[in-house]
Structure 1
């Protein structure tokens, strides 16, 4: 059974890699962005327990899977069930470059224009990765990586695996 978690900074390529693995190995794919946020303006996080229950449902209903996101608090929910993790620890400049090239994500934005409206905010967010101390930070991701005892990979450049 393959149960893979992919995490890292925004723009690191988590969704791209998860989609590739999902298609190549016929794995159900869960993007944590789809269950982490309430449908509100401004966006606010769902209660952790609500998101955790959705993750438990997904992992219980699928024997194999790939889950990706930047939320260390949500990744910790699935971590005990994972047998592989991939930490996309790309340099910030590559994450920014990837964010600029990001195709439209219709499951997150109503249009490419709406997505692009958030690009400056996203680039600022990406730039703070190494200095933040929250659940989205490099330090939170390193902690997940260091504590995991299964198969683990850390990628530091754009590549396919």
Structure 2
């Protein structure tokens, strides 16, 4: 089983991925861990390094779950997956989940540092339907609709749902 999960920030991707990983003994990759520079806040790594790490991961494990909002990275991993999941609970649910997000020590040195980024995150999440970047609804929809393999779209109303 090789599952790709995409959706807006706060949609429940990480919770769903952790559940799948535990239930099916899958190796889990949160794309944030390869996208952002370690120890930095909102500093992206060079694209070629991120892509190399993604390819190394999907080729190294027979069974995995990869999750993230980076539609371009999801698209690059599609040839390796057995199922694509698009979690789409709506912007309001994502914003509510992000407002209650627990501290993510793999992303931020402290809860205070994470909370300082919340206004930016909330603005970005709220623009999901109108952005035109690779993390937007339009990009996710295009990737999902074009994928010919096994796929499902689902709603998740809260983290851990």
TM range (shorter): over 0.9
Structure 2 equivalent of residue 15 of structure 1: 14
Question: What does 1:45-56 align with in structure 2 at a 5 Å threshold?
Answer: 45-56=44-55
Which residue number in structure 1 is paired with residue 60 of structure 2? 61
User: Number of paired residues?
Assistant: 160
Moved more, 39-48 or 130-139: 39-48
Q: Which runs of 5+ in 2 are unaligned?
A: none
Q: Could you tell me the TM-score, scaled by structure 2's length?
A: 0.92
Superposed, 1:1-161 pairs within 5 Å as: 2-39=1-38, 43-158=42-157
TM (norm. structure 1) is 0.92
Aligned-partner SS, 1:99: helix
Deviation at 1:22, TM superposition (A): 0.8
Kindly report the root-mean-square deviation, in angstroms, between the aligned alpha carbons of the 2 structures.
1.7
Residue 52 of structure 1: SS of its match in structure 2?
A: helix
Q: Are the equivalent residues in 2 in contact too, given 1:104–1:111 (CA < 8 A)?
A: yes
| TM-superposed deviation, 1:59 | 1.1
Do 1:48 and 1:74's aligned partners in 2 also have CA atoms closer than 8 Å?
no
Determine the C-alpha separation between the residues in 2 that align with 1:41 and 1:149: 37
